[in-house]
Structure 1
């Protein structure tokens, strides 16, 4: 196979790679999230116990553990359905580098931003980036509102999801 053919195959794969994405999951009831997480842990533990059971284990003990595992998975299924009903998932995708650089140039840092170590004016750049990176069609106005009105932790997570995916690597420079 010639190097041109080899490169063409690699280029096709590279060009076909999806852009990195990140999700932000928001729960309208934290207790629902907690119940789901507890049910997940219980089901995982039940599976581990069953997997570690010797093949020659007592038949009654195995039957009891099987029932406990089935019950744990039924509870997990119910908790998953409840979680899904109380969850909103926002998805963000990495922009092409040129598009990101255009946004950065559109919103240059103020002195205050530079003092905070930023290369952009956060108050205008952040909502624009969040909206542009959103695969859900979030408007800039809503992104700005969310950054101002959501709790500090939630607004930081919103920003981190949209900004973090821009910096996500798909590379490994290790020996290989």
Structure 2
């Protein structure tokens, strides 16, 4: 005689997950995540940039003195003046700067662009996975949050200095690879 064992009915994994309120909340947060963004700040005025560097240094020095002597009115006044100097210098830098913002493309779009712009034989020999000459302006335009067109991107890449053009290209590509995850310990 054979006996049949009845196993207790357990919910299927998908159903169990769907009914888990903790997972539902986590899932909503995951679905609501925005893709990474990066900014490229351009300032053509070296004096304004230097003023910020000097003001940062002065503020750090004043803070060290003020922290060592919290009851010293002169040290505290020097710190307040240095903080004001830094805020003013930063405001001048912000006013003189052009900020370009970029956002990562969704994975499918990014992969499709890479596939559509295969490297030349020479580029492949140099280790490139894509044709930077054809994909560069497209990637800049596609990831720009400021409305940079492919034509604009091509103009910038052709007319800016090599290091500035590389900074523009690197920002558009780096945002695609920006990681905001931590594997944790263990």
Structure 1 segments of 4+ aligned residues over 2 angstroms from their partners: 2-6
**Which residue of the partner structure matches residue 141 of structure 1?**
151
1:42 paired residue among 58, 62, 65: 58
2:33 paired residue among 8, 13, 17: 17
TM-score by length of 1: 0.89
Deviation at 1:24, TM superposition (A): 0.7
Between the aligned partners of 2:125 and 2:155, the Cα distance in structure 1 is 25
Structure 2 SS opposite 1:119: coil
Q: Which runs of 5+ in 1 are unaligned?
A: none
**Which residue of the partner structure matches residue 97 of structure 1?**
107
**Which residue of the partner structure matches residue 29 of structure 1?**
45
**Which residue of the partner structure matches residue 117 of structure 1?**
127
Structure 2 SS opposite 1:117: coil
Larger RCO, structure (CA 8 Å, separation 6 or more)? 1
Bigger-Rg structure (1/2): 2
How do residues 67-86 of structure 1 correspond to structure 2 at under 5 angstroms? 67-86=77-96
Between the aligned partners of 2:169 and 2:64, the Cα distance in structure 1 is 37
Between the aligned partners of 1:123 and 1:162, the Cα distance in structure 2 is 14
Deviation at 1:81, TM superposition (A): 2.0
Structure 2 SS opposite 1:23: strand
Between the aligned partners of 1:119 and 1:75, the Cα distance in structure 2 is 47
Deviation at 1:131, TM superposition (A): 0.8
Matched, 1:165 2:175: yes
Q: Which runs of 5+ in 2 are unaligned?
A: 1-15
TM-score by length of 2: 0.84
Deviation at 1:106, TM superposition (A): 1.9
Between the aligned partners of 2:29 and 2:68, the Cα distance in structure 1 is 41
Between the aligned partners of 2:92 and 2:184, the Cα distance in structure 1 is 43
Deviation at 1:51, TM superposition (A): 2.2
Deviation at 1:114, TM superposition (A): 0.6
Superposed CA RMSD in Å reads 1.6
